[in-house]
């Protein structure tokens, strides 16, 4: 299928799909096999159109990564169909670290029907004599200018007078931005997988005809959150990192009745790596919150409830904060609701993203409007009705459309909590199915709010943060359930967040045993 720029995908989002597919049981090896077979099938069609015989053959230039693995599979399939096949590995065998690529490479070396050569440096790259040459050097993960011997291989491919095929995208194009990374393969045909990459469309003059091939990625890998959504937002920390580089979160919440809610949110935010968390609460409440953990920094506000006189005290913190979370345990007094909108106004002035949960949603519902800064709302279904005046429909497909419309109307990211969570920014929508009935215990929503606000404080895109937060919160609840059953508490969940950030695929180990708890009708 020839494709236009519509419905393209970034390299990062393609990575999400591949990881989520693995989580669902469709392995990287299976995807690689499907990709290579799709390339081989398309080359057969092109050879027939061009009048090229199988005896004339095909040369593959493969790299040491997964793009090279796709090429190796394609080479094997073409050889089995009677094509003469040459495969040139551009690089050293020791750099093949992916086990799926390594397995395919070792297989090729055993086949007498395929001529294999290793070009560990530029001088060893052979002259091409076949009428078809395939570029399987670098895929969607490439960053920075091309280096030898890849650079020389690209130059040699471009000098070929025959038909040039690129796998997924021509080597030398950044898959997400379309930036040309120095020398770039000028293909006659590009066979890309699942959807065209955003960079491929932007640099389509180098792609030739674009054919999109399905490789068996499950629909659920794209519509539901998974470990890939967590991997996408997890940032490496340079050794030169300073305090505050990974975010400062201000939480305004807590009251005489509710002291645990802001404490849980603060501790969850710390668990996802935010550097500083301040909790602003009425003085006596703040003293109680401080006893939960020495990590929690409290701002002691005058008065029994959050009120308009507290704004001057909070302004310096709003100026420093990278996200504001309002609502956990806040209370619903009239003076609190009046102070709420002054606080939101200050956040708008500073351009600080705002996350609203619990009583923060009640305050917002009094005067619903689009904000002059990023807004993220985390209602359960009853709160969704309070915010929109409409009940969510019974069927999931109808619910998703309703949530999408509401997010667009409010100009926000909505994370609607339920037995299946719904996340939308008004354009995209994603579902989350982690979690279990044990999470009906109080405090689990506060942990979700803290995870979400903590990620956004690290300057993560709000929609991406909401997808990752929903998965992490539910998965932490699932791991806690596995250990504690229905006596799990929010504190038990906190202990699991770090484990999941380091290895979000950990949830896969228990997923099958948990599905029956909540998803029997899924």
**Residue that the structure tokens 């493969």 belong to:** 62
Range list of H helices, 235-376: 260-271, 283-290, 311-320, 334-350, 359-365
pLDDT of residue 514: 67
Residue 189, pLDDT > 90, answer yes
Residue 515, pLDDT > 70, answer no
So where are the chain's domains?
11-223, 244-518
Q: Report the predicted TM-score, pTM, of the whole model to 2 decimal places.
A: 0.93
**Residue that the structure tokens 């959807």 belong to:** 195
The 10s digit of each residue's pLDDT in 197-222 is: 999 999 999 999 999 999 999 999 99
Q: What is the CATH number of domain 11-223?
A: 3.40.50.10260
Sequential DSSP letters for 80-124: HTT--EEEEEES-GGG--SHHHHHHHHHHHH-TTEEEEEE-SGGG
Q: Return the closest-CA partner of residue 264 out of 303, 292, 291.
A: 292
Strand (E) or helix (H) holding 54: none
Average pLDDT over residues 40-49: 97
Average pLDDT over residues 477-494: 95
- Between strands 85-90 and 114-119, the pairing is parallel
Give the whole-angstrom CA distance, residue 421 versus residue 406: 15
Residue 405, pLDDT > 60, answer yes
Residue 429, pLDDT > 90, answer yes
Strand (E) or helix (H) holding 303: none
Q: What is the CATH number of domain 244-518?
A: 3.40.1190.20
């Amino acid at each position: 299928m020839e494709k236009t720029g519509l419905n393209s995908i970034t390299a990062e989002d393609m990575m999400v799909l591949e990881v989520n597919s693995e989580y669902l049981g469709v392995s990287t090896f299976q995807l690689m096999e499907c990709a290579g077979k799709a390339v081989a099938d398309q080359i057969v069609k092109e050879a027939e159109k061009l009048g090229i015989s199988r005896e004339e053959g095909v040369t593959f230039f493969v790299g040491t990564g997964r793009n090279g693995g796709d090429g190796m599979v394609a080479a094997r399939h073409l050889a089995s169909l009677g094509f003469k096949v040459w495969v040139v590995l551009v690089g050293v065998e020791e750099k093949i670290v992916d086990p799926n690529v390594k397995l395919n490479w070792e297989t090729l070396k055993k086949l007498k029907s395929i001529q294999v050569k290793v070009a560990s440096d530029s001088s060893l790259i052979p002259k091409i004599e076949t009428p078809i040459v395939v570029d399987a050097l670098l895929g969607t993960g490439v960053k920075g200018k091309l280096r030898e011997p890849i650079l020389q291989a690209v130059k040699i491919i471009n000098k070929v007078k025959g038909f040039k095929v690129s796998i997924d995208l021509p080597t030398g194009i950044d898959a997400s931005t379309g930036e040309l990374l120095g020398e770039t393969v000028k293909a006659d045909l590009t066979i890309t997988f699942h959807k065209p990459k955003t960079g491929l469309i932007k640099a389509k003059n180098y792609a030739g005809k674009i054919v999109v091939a399905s490789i068996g990625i499950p629909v659920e890998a794209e519509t539901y959150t998974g470990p890939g959504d967590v991997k996408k937002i997890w940032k490496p920390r340079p050794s030169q990192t300073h305090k505050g580089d990974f975010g400062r979160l201000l939480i305004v919440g807590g009251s005489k009745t509710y002291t645990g809610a802001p404490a849980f949110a603060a501790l969850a935010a710390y668990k996802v790596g935010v550097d500083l968390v301040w909790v602003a609460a009425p003085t006596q409440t703040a003293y109680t919150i401080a006893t939960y953990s020495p990590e929690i920094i409290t701002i002691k506000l005058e008065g029994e409830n959050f009120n308009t006189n507290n704004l001057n005290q909070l302004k310096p913190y709003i100026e420093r904060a990278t996200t504001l979370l309002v609502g956990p345990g806040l209370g619903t007094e009239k003076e609190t609701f009046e102070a709420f909108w002054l606080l939101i106004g200050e956040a708008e002035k500073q351009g600080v993203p705002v996350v609203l949960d619990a009583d923060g949603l009640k305050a917002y519902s009094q005067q619903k409007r689009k904000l002059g800064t990023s807004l993220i709302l985390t209602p359960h279904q009853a709160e969704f009705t309070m915010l929109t005046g409409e009940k969510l429909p019974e069927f999931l497909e109808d619910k998703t459309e309703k949530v999408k419309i509401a997010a667009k109307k409010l100009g926000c990211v909505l994370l609607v909590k339920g037995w299946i969570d719904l996340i939308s920014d008004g354009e995209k929508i994603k579902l989350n199915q982690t979690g279990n009935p044990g999470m009906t215990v109080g405090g689990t929503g506060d942990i979700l709010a803290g995870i979400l606000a903590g990620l956004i404080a690290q300057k993560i895109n709000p929609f991406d943060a909401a997808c990752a937060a929903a998965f992490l919160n539910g998965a932490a609840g699932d791991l806690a359930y596995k250990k504690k059953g229905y006596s799990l508490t929010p504190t038990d969940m906190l202990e699991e967040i770090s484990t999941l950030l380091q290895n979000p695929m950990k949830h896969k180990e228990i997923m099958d045993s948990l599905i029956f708890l909540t998803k029997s009708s899924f």
